[in-house]
Structure 1
Amino acid sequence: MANTQAQYNVGGMSCSFCAESIRKAYERTDGVEDVDVSLAHEEVLVSYDDELVDEVQIKDTLRDLGYTIRDPDKRTRFEEQRAELDDAKRKLVLSGAASLVLAGLMLYMIGRYRMLEHDSLWYDLPTLALTLGVMFGPGRYIKEKAYHSLRRGILNQHVLLEAGAFAGLLGGVLGLTVFPQFPTVHFFAVSVFVTAYHILSEYTSLVVRTRASRSVQELLDLRPETARRVTEDGDVEEVPVEELDVGDRVRIKPGESIPVDGSVLEGTSTVDESVATGESIPQEKGSGDEVIGGSVNETGTLLLEVTATGEDAFLNQVAREIEEARAMKPGIVQLADRVLEYFVPGVLVIALLSFLFWLVAPIAWGGEPTVQRGAFAALAVLVLGYPCALGMATPLALIRGGGKAANRGILMRSGDAFQLFTDVDRLVLDKTGTITVGEPAVSAVVAVTDRSEQAVLRTAASAEAFSEHPLADAILDRAEERGVEYDDPETFESVTGKGVRATVDERDVAVGKPGWLSEEGIDLTSAAGEVDRLQRRGLTVSGVVRDGEVIGLIGIGDEIKADATATVRRATDAGIEPVMITGDNERTAKAVADEVGIDRVMAGVLPDEKRAEIGRLQEAGHRVAMVGDGINDAPALTQSDVGVAIGAGTDIAIESADVVLMGERLGGVMDAHEIGTESYRKTRQNLLAAFSFNGIGVAVATTGLVHPIWAMIAMVLSVSAVLANSFAGQLLSGEGVSTDFTVQEQDVESRIEEAPLD
């Protein structure tokens, strides 16, 4: 027995019924051992025994159901998604135009109803042509899906729709040929309207669910396309990154992205590794230290030995983590779809029994079979049973909530987020860039001698004026913020990884790590207590020395966002336990957590470990919302029940999330929770109204006294009721129905399409 896994990006899924149909089809396929279907990301992961079934059969199962398998190439897949949206729009335009023509014809006929005893061929034949054109033109794909579902014994919304559409077509044809008393145009109109509505519903779902996602490609674009390989003779040649092998030597200049994972052979530098760790303070690298592909070399020149390429490289591992998390993310079956699992077969059975009843029952009463009444009953049951309002209940609540969220700078990208936010009981927060600002900044200036803090800052800024180190930039920024004037040094020397020496106002000045200053013979005894206090706060400490005397200390860290503490308190008040997860060290993480009021901290966690930690919380029965902003957060955002990305963060984080907070404000996550909870409550109200119409309508329709056109009008009224419930309160309150979220969503997508990360 050989177990094999196949993963596909699937086109054509529009609701959880589609995901359920795919799952059922594979469960009934010999040799398939397990299947995971993610509707949100349109991913299918199949585990199968390749001795019993091959990959061709696995793919054919998807295609037979009417779904497409997108190209594995990310750029081609993006184009295919765009093409699917264009095709859906074309089908909607064609079916919508036919519906408008029919609606106009029916209104004209109603106006002349008393003058027309029977439908005329002048109306019947064009209506038949429109009906066939819609059903077998733009609506053909629905029949294919219904046929293949039925062939596998799967009853879904496609089967129910086609039962109603063909019943209307059959009734119209019988009116033309056998039963002239049948309202032919009205029967045909039912077929056109239900088909057009379904196309509209799927198009709306496609717009809501499908996003221009090139996230993995953008992730890999972080890596340069070429690298400077050093030959055995010492020559330097520029080669494509794909040609590098483990053991090759590569030279990296200041300011360049590191193309591969490697180990430092020569040189010292500071390297920004926030791509992997989320840590905002650059790390010092020297001989023997490991570096990660995608990191940025900042100050010195490095000679690296390649240690990992291809699928073993860090960025490719993260890309694989995201793909797997997408496919295995638990699917959410919407409340409506859970009910529809029983509702669909029930409606089909009731329609058949109603028709048979009016054929058989009159005979038992001593009368004649009433074919017309039976046909009316069956068709009306199918029309009133077709869940139009039911299908609109969730999308309308999503649109309402989405508009309200947009007014607060929140982009709700997934309908599942509305439902799941209600049940979230763990809020996992990344540290750097989420709780904190994400950039080094001076958090404390301490005067050790009699000098003032201003004097300490002026001396440090003057010494660091020529430095290119990020910590020097933080000191200079603080001096400018405080209005502290400083001069350029007369002499300047940078000691890589340790600090700087300079001459300022003809006096010797050193600014750097306490350990280095001690090595230089500086007595730090008077500052030892303050150094320890600042380090316990998680700050990076630099000593400021003038003429051999410590005059002060500067603590540099990542400032906490202004609304972080309030957001944590709001989560706790809502019964949600906040948890911090970070790749940073435990001391720094604990200091930040204590300041904002978080008790549980997970520190030193790498990207794949973050996803595993989220998984463990889910296995323990918790619903988890994860908030992050970096590439290192992307797998965890995808794994979590509700992924929330900071909009000022990286594009890969945005594309991996269900909710995007436009800007840097953390408080938006609790705003999104409140809106999601309210929207889910509105969804349940909509479903109650929809089921009331459907349930009562089906019961009345079984009498055979409901004319098909009145069944269609009742269906329209049910949708109107759901629409009114969704938006009436919002309009009365003066909020309006905002569509700003579309614009903001386009802003996010334009960043992804037009501004690849360097």
Structure 2
Amino acid sequence: MKKEQFTITGMTCSACSARVEKAVAKVDGTKDVSVNLLTNSMQLEYDEQKTSVPAIIKAVVDAGYGASVKGKQAAAKAAPQEDPVKKSIAEMKHRLVWSIAFLLPTMYISMHGLFEKLFGLPVPQIVSEVFDGPQNAIVFAFSQFLLVLPIMYLNRRYYIAGFRNLFRGAPNMDSLVGMGSMAAALFGAFAIFRMGWGFGHGDMALVQEYSTNLYFESAGMIVTLITVGKYLEARAKGQTSKALEKLMDLAPKQACVVRGGVEQVIPAEELVAGDEVIVRPGERIPADGTVLAGTTSIDESAITGEPIPVEKQAGDKVTSATINKQGFIHFRAERVGEDTTISQIIRLVDEASASKAPIARMADKIAGVFVPAVIAIAVLAGAAWLAMGASVEFAFSIAICILVISCPCSLGLATPVAIMVGTGKGAENGILIKSGEALEVAQSVDTVVMDKTGTITEGRPEVTVIVTADGIAEQQLLSIAAGLEQGSEHPLAEAVMTAAKAKGIAPQAMTDFRALFGRGVEAKADGHAYAAGNAKLMEEKGVDLKAYEAQLAAFADDGCTPLIFAEDDRVIGILAAADVEKATSREAIARFHEMGIEVVMLTGDNARTAEAIRRRMGIEKVIAGVLPENKAAHIKKLQSEGHRVAMIGDGINDAPALAQADLGIAIGAGTDVAIESADAVLMKSDLLDAVSAIRLSKAVLKNIKENLFWALIYNVICIPLAAGILYPAFGIKLSPVIGAAAMSLSSVCVVMNALRLRFFKPDHGAEISAEQTAAAVSSDRKDHEAADSAAAQPVQEKEAIRMEKTLKIEGMMCAHCQKHVHDALAKMDGVTDVTVDLEGGKADVKATHDIPEADFRKVIEDAGYELVG
């Protein structure tokens, strides 16, 4: 069996994707056909002995759509050409702008008399002279006819696709739109013919009757309103390709290799297994392989999501797309090209996007029944009146009236208006939901899978516990620690320096500083030899750790990394650093539980650290030690068990899992690739916003169902009236004016109901102080130590908030600007919380100590913005 991906063109709704899927599934030799409406793609397996690519493409074409092999299309893109997705969006925008330009004068000519009666809007004399009165009836009607023709031509695809699918027995939303609009236009053209007949035969009553029975503005309004929704959908579809583009940008374009004893720079795609590659500081690793010579530290956060660089030396493995931070290394390339880790991640994102099942739109499902039902009613009603002796004109007018009054304005608005308001409300609160599909699926999620680093936790180590030996003051230990670590760029060293600065403690002056690869650092001061590092370094220095073994084991169980400090041959203290949990993480997890949603933590970290986080956060299930390429497999396994899965993550390594999940939610402070791969983005990096996103989706889906009710109840009442059901007994035949008003009222009800979503209130966490957070960590640590019969050690409590300040900032233009300002302020020493208001042009900052305004000004200006006031 061969696996292949195709690009499908011409699909507009879930009925289209279902039709393509059914058509290809009928081809002998095909298996696991999956059509994705959002990405316009199809993925399947087929037996090359039974069928072929041309046969598969023919099946798609016979179903009324276009198809091409995705790989071949990608190869053709090697030559510079316009992005088809952007081209489609631009074309749709062009149609929409010109449709509105022609629709507005059409509506004014048609309804200016009504505007004057209802709203008292004066009508210019020239308009009255040209369009008002029976004598101007032909001008009044023909002007609208000429104005609506460009609208219909611009949106001709609805008529072509709609009638094509109708004649093939698979009507969809386009069929509904095309028939409604065409019926309105045909009735208008018929009215012009009848008015001409009336003028020629002196029957002014006939002219007067038909001059008030025109539907040209409805013909134009239907296709224009539907195009608004299609344009918003097309923009959402354009996001999918960006994730792959950003992933591809991570892969180095060149590699420095040694061939025949000579260094040469070659394109990365020309690397072959066995090549010896040289990587200098700051460069990305171009392939997967094994270090032959040199030592360095590698930033693997692009792949693993873990913030601490990993030390590498001869014999260690290196991974493509990771960054060489410090040293100069030679390594042997073992997995190159399509076999590298980054290429596999790219492939996983692509496949997961292509195989994601489309969310069937409720309106399309209704349309599948509604369209043939309306056609049948119109034909039967017309035939019934003819059988009862009515004139052909009367019967035809009845049939046309049914089609006109069933125009899908409100049905077409039911879904997009609610989605527009819902996504707008989400964006207002820092929850960026990329598509209606994401809103639709979020309400059915029953399992939430979370990454650990940067999602549940802050993503950077902080000193959480300080243990001092007898006779050593805390301030003295911190001064020595800062003196030892001030020359290092390691994240743990940064955590130590931050802890010292928060206490206002200056580093002790040191001499003879030396970094000890993979173990720590050493230096001298005042005739003493100092060392800081892991247990291995202490063993080398002959420092006895027996008194601290239980303490070190407890730190490991709590997910903390201990830094041991020694003076000569004795321990003077231990600083434990950990990637601490965000203040609202525990509350968010508790609220997921209240909603009946299971929470799973999925992390590449070790089992002991993961278990410590699980206990503190109250998570039911944890999966630790997961490689990046296997995260998507765990999501797929949960889906195969019948779960609707949401994945929350922030790293490049999370991208395949975000794409595979039914709902991918990216933390706003995460990588661009994770953000692009996700269906929703939390700009404030707060897990409570994930709770809000799911609650919002439930509210939107409820609103859509209510909208569909209003849209359908209108048709249930009005279609029988239009069919003349009351005419035989009471002589009542539905007036076109009443029909038009009822159709407008249905649309108004839908819009007003959707606007109620503006009152949605997002979740806000209870105010959790820094002391409470530290106390939670302390309590968990003490409980675990008690179980090990070890004495609890004092916990370094974080300082309370001493400063709250609002900064006025100029120059922020978009969500990216908002993120840049947030990140710049959050990195300042002592800052504990930052909230950036894009619309208000301000930032609210909390800190543990007073920060001069000049410091804020410098940070904001360095980020490219201006502090005012």
What's the TM-score once normalised by structure 2's chain length?
0.78
Secondary structure of residue in 2 paired with 1:443: strand
Whether 1:193 aligns to 2:209 is no
Match of 1:221 in 2: 249
Whether 1:138 aligns to 2:142 is no
Secondary structure of residue in 1 paired with 2:579: strand
Structure 1 residues 685 and 619, CA, compared in 2 at 3 Å: closer, same or farther? same
Structure 2 residue aligned with 1:420, among 441, 451, 456?
A: 441
Structure 1 residue aligned with 2:303, among 276, 283, 288?
A: 276
- Structure 1 unaligned residues grouped into runs of 5+: 364-368, 734-741, 752-758
Tell me the CA shift for residue 187 of structure 1: 4.5
Structure 1 residues 549 and 34, CA, compared in 2 at 3 Å: closer, same or farther? closer
Match of 1:329 in 2: 356
Whether 1:45 aligns to 2:43 is yes
Whether 1:690 aligns to 2:711 is yes
CA distance in 2, matches of 1:499, 1:750: 33
One-letter identity of the residue aligned with 2:85: Q
Structure 2 residue aligned with 1:87, among 86, 91, 97?
A: 91
One-letter identity of the residue aligned with 1:143: Y
Tell me the CA shift for residue 486 of structure 1: 0.8
Secondary structure of residue in 1 paired with 2:38: coil
Structure 1 residues 77 and 159, CA, compared in 2 at 3 Å: closer, same or farther? farther
Structure 1 residues 301 and 441, CA, compared in 2 at 3 Å: closer, same or farther? farther
Whether 1:245 aligns to 2:245 is no
One-letter identity of the residue aligned with 1:257: R
Secondary structure of residue in 2 paired with 1:217: helix
After TM superposition, the structure 1 = structure 2 runs for residues 433-452 of structure 1, keeping only pairs within 5 Å, are 433-452=454-473
Q: Are 2:294 and 2:328, in contact at CA under 8 Å, matched by a contact in 1? A: yes
Tell me the CA shift for residue 632 of structure 1: 0.9
Report how many aligned residue pairs link the two structures. 733
After TM superposition, the structure 1 = structure 2 runs for residues 459-538 of structure 1, keeping only pairs within 5 Å, are 459-538=480-559
Match of 1:737 in 2: none
After TM superposition, the structure 1 = structure 2 runs for residues 707-722 of structure 1, keeping only pairs within 5 Å, are 707-708=735-736, 710-722=738-750
CA distance in 1, matches of 2:44, 2:488: 55
CA distance in 2, matches of 1:11, 1:252: 44
Q: Are 2:3 and 2:43, in contact at CA under 8 Å, matched by a contact in 1? A: no
CA distance in 1, matches of 2:553, 2:353: 44
Q: Are 1:25 and 1:152, in contact at CA under 8 Å, matched by a contact in 2? A: no
Tell me the CA shift for residue 59 of structure 1: 4.7
Q: Are 1:644 and 1:657, in contact at CA under 8 Å, matched by a contact in 2? A: yes
Secondary structure of residue in 2 paired with 1:533: helix
Tell me the CA shift for residue 62 of structure 1: 5.7
Identity %: 34
Secondary structure of residue in 2 paired with 1:320: helix
Worse overlay, 540-549 or 380-389: 380-389
Structure 1 residues 334 and 259, CA, compared in 2 at 3 Å: closer, same or farther? same
Tell me the CA shift for residue 24 of structure 1: 4.1
Match of 1:736 in 2: none
Tell me the CA shift for residue 177 of structure 1: 4.6
Structure 1 residue aligned with 2:263, among 222, 236, 247?
A: 236
Bigger relative contact order, structure 1 or 2 (CA pairs below 8 A, ≥6 apart): 1
Secondary structure of residue in 1 paired with 2:83: helix
CA distance in 2, matches of 1:626, 1:384: 44
Tell me the CA shift for residue 206 of structure 1: 2.6
Tell me the CA shift for residue 403 of structure 1: 2.5
After TM superposition, the structure 1 = structure 2 runs for residues 578-657 of structure 1, keeping only pairs within 5 Å, are 578-657=599-678
Worse overlay, 378-387 or 174-183: 174-183
Match of 2:315 in 1: 288
CA distance in 2, matches of 1:53, 1:150: 29
CA distance in 1, matches of 2:759, 2:274: 66
CA distance in 1, matches of 2:371, 2:132: 40
- Structure 2 unaligned residues grouped into runs of 5+: 117-127, 198-205, 726-732, 762-811, 822-869
Match of 2:560 in 1: 539
Cα shift readout 1:204-231 (whole Å, capped 9, x = no counterpart): 4334554384211211212222222123
Q: CA RMSD in A?
A: 3.1
Q: Are 1:259 and 1:294, in contact at CA under 8 Å, matched by a contact in 2? A: yes
Q: Are 2:699 and 2:757, in contact at CA under 8 Å, matched by a contact in 1? A: no
CA distance in 2, matches of 1:424, 1:450: 56
One-letter identity of the residue aligned with 2:551: E
Match of 1:129 in 2: 146
Q: Are 1:629 and 1:654, in contact at CA under 8 Å, matched by a contact in 2? A: yes
Cα shift readout 1:567-605 (whole Å, capped 9, x = no counterpart): 111111221121100011111111111111112100011
Structure 1 residues 187 and 547, CA, compared in 2 at 3 Å: closer, same or farther? closer
Match of 1:756 in 2: none
Structure 1 residues 3 and 147, CA, compared in 2 at 3 Å: closer, same or farther? farther
What's the TM-score once normalised by structure 1's chain length?
0.89
Secondary structure of residue in 2 paired with 1:284: strand
Match of 2:729 in 1: none
Q: Are 1:583 and 1:603, in contact at CA under 8 Å, matched by a contact in 2? A: yes
CA distance in 2, matches of 1:40, 1:476: 48
Tell me the CA shift for residue 329 of structure 1: 1.2
Tell me the CA shift for residue 621 of structure 1: 1.7
Structure 2 residue aligned with 1:155, among 149, 171, 181?
A: 171
CA distance in 1, matches of 2:820, 2:362: 33
Tell me the CA shift for residue 199 of structure 1: 2.4
Structure 1 residues 403 and 160, CA, compared in 2 at 3 Å: closer, same or farther? closer
Tell me the CA shift for residue 529 of structure 1: 1.8
Structure 2 residue aligned with 1:104, among 102, 108, 117?
A: 108
Q: Are 1:376 and 1:706, in contact at CA under 8 Å, matched by a contact in 2? A: no
Worse overlay, 522-531 or 138-147: 138-147
Cα shift readout 1:176-224 (whole Å, capped 9, x = no counterpart): 5578458377144443333333323322433455438421121121222
Tell me the CA shift for residue 417 of structure 1: 2.8
Secondary structure of residue in 2 paired with 1:183: helix
Match of 1:167 in 2: 183
Structure 1 residues 729 and 621, CA, compared in 2 at 3 Å: closer, same or farther? closer
Q: Are 1:39 and 1:331, in contact at CA under 8 Å, matched by a contact in 2? A: yes
Match of 1:320 in 2: 347
Structure 1 residues 730 and 467, CA, compared in 2 at 3 Å: closer, same or farther? closer
